């Protein structure tokens, strides 16, 4: 293999640039030509492809977002769209592709692999919702953004003796809410993996009030529903007033943490090594701090699991 490509797809995540840098530098280290594809699979269809060199990725390791930009592209979900992408790869002589993104992006990578164009995926999403890896690139930065925001909200919660419901991202996964809850000592956490815990949250709020506790933080993962709806439900069933904060897109931005930069660098370099050693249709990941790789189909078929011990601990520490 002499020419490979790299793209970022789906939602952007902090650390994607560090991953791109690692892919480019590792390819050059192996004396392989490396092409950057702009705007995800849309750019692949459009032929928005540029050769990259050592300098193309200088001074980006600390930057959030993705210099290759990202996009969602419905056309690529069709055979026709995928064939157009393959035509472009043929035109540029690109023999293998590294896809940095989430599970949707990996479906695209799987299709290309099935059509004879080997792809390797790097999990890049703040949601930490990919099976086969303990962490995805971007999760740690988003987590730190969330706890910084909650620390600030806590100041107001305690000064004004209020209960806040804070809605965090994570799609169908509760990791961001769970980790933020533990890191921030939240009184309650509502996650999609344990949806029916509202009554327990209300009971805990009441117990707290009986002890003279005047403020509380409830962290709600977006996969459970809207924080505004939950505020209504708590008002209706327990006559308790809550304030709502939806953290929104601040969670996706910002300079990546050291942990995300290191993870992205390790996974980026590993992805290049996998392609060059003839692997195809694999997702790079990290488990127990060791680099691993799994078949895309297995990763897509398996559901990412939250750590139930951590969930139990969060409850025990916020009685
Ligand atoms: P995030 O988790 O941040 O949302 P993602 O990679 O899951 O990231 P999606 O919007 O689901 O984001 O997918 C990104 C892109 O991957 C889509 O816009 C599309 O181009 C491609 N894609 C998704 N599903 C498929 C599929 N079944 N076949 C081919 N390509 C797909």
Residues of the chain with pLDDT under 70: 319
pTM attached to this predicted model: 0.96
pLDDT at 98: 98
pLDDT at 4: 98
Query: Does 134 qualify as catalytic in the annotation?
Result: no
3-state per-residue secondary structure call for the chain: CCEEEEEECCCCCCCHHHHHHHHHHHHHHCCCEEEEECCHHHHHHHCCEEEECHHHHCCCCCCCCCCCCCCCCHHHHCHHHHHHHHHHHHHHCCCEEEEEECHHHHHHHHHHHHCCCCEEEEEECCCCCCCCCCCCECHHHHHHHHHHHHHHHHHHHHHHCCEEEEEECCCCCCHHHHHHHHHHCCCEEEECCECCCHHHHHHHHHHHHHCCCCCEEEEEEHHHCCHHHHHHHHHHHHCCCCEEEECHHHHHCCCCCHHHHHHHHHHHHHHHHHHHCCCCCEEEEEECCEEEEEEHHHHHHCCCCCCHHHHHHHHHCCC
For 179-213, b/e burial (b = at least 16 CB within 10 A) is: bbbbebebbbbbbbbbeebbeebbebbeebeeeee
In ligand 1, the atom with minimum distance to the C-alpha of 129 is 2
Spatial neighbors of 304 by CB under 8 A, at least 6 apart, are 128, 129, 130, 131, 173, 175
The dihedrals phi and psi of 133, each to the nearest 5 degrees, come to: -145, 140
* Smallest CA separation from ligand 1 atom 19, residue: 73
Determine the distance separating the centroid of ligand 1 and the alpha carbon of 318, expressed in angstroms.
37
Determine the distance separating the centroid of ligand 1 and the alpha carbon of 128, expressed in angstroms.
15
Looking only at the bridges linking them, the beta strands covering 96-101 and 3-8 are parallel
* Beta carbons of 190 and 230 less than 8 angstroms apart: yes
Q: Is 295 annotated as a binding residue?
A: no
Q: Is 43 annotated as a binding residue?
A: no
Determine the distance separating the centroid of ligand 1 and the alpha carbon of 6, expressed in angstroms.
15
Query: CB within 6 Å of ligand 1 — which residues?
Result: 9-11, 41, 72-73, 76-77, 101-105, 107-108, 111, 125, 127
pLDDT tens string 154-183: 988 878 778 899 999 999 999 999 999 999
In ligand 1, the atom with minimum distance to the C-alpha of 82 is 29
């Amino acid at each position: 293999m002499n020419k490979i490509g790299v793209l970022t797809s789906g939602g952007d995540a902090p650390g994607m640039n560090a991953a791109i840098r690692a892919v480019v530098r590792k390819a050059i280290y192996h004396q392989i030509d490396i092409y950057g594809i702009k705007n995800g699979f849309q750019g692949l269809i459009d032929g928005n492809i540029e050769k990259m060199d050592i300098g193309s990725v200088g001074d980006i390791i600390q930057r959030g977002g993705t210099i290759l930009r990202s996009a969602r592209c419905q056309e690529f979900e069709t055979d026709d769209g995928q064939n157009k992408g393959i035509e472009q790869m043929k035109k540029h002589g690109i023999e293998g592709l590294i896809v940095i993104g989430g599970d949707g992006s990996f479906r695209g990578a799987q299709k290309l692999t099935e059509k004879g164009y080997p792809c390797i995926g790097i999990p890049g999403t703040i949601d930490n919702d990919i099976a086969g890896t303990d962490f995805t690139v971007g999760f740690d930065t988003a987590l730190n953004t969330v706890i910084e925001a909650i620390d600030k909200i806590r100041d107001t919660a305690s000064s004004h003796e209020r209960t806040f419901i804070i809605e965090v991202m994570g799609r169908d996964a509760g990791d961001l809410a769970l980790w933020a809850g533990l890191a921030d000592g939240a009184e309650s956490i509502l996650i999609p993996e344990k949806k029916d815990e509202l009554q327990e949250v209300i009971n805990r709020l009441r117990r707290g009030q009986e002890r003279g506790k005047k403020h509380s933080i409830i962290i709600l993962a977006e996969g459970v529903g809207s924080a505004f709806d939950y505020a209504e439900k708590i008002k209706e069933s327990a006559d308790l007033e809550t304030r709502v904060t939806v953290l929104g897109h601040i969670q996706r931005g910002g300079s990546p943490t050291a942990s995300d930069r290191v993870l992205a660098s390790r996974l980026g370099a590993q992805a290049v090594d996998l392609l060059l050693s003839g692997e195809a249709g694999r997702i790079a990941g990290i488990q127990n701090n060791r680099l691993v790789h799994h078949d895309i189909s297995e990763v897509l078929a398996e559901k990412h699991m939250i750590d139930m011990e951590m969930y139990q601990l969060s409850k025990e520490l916020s009685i």
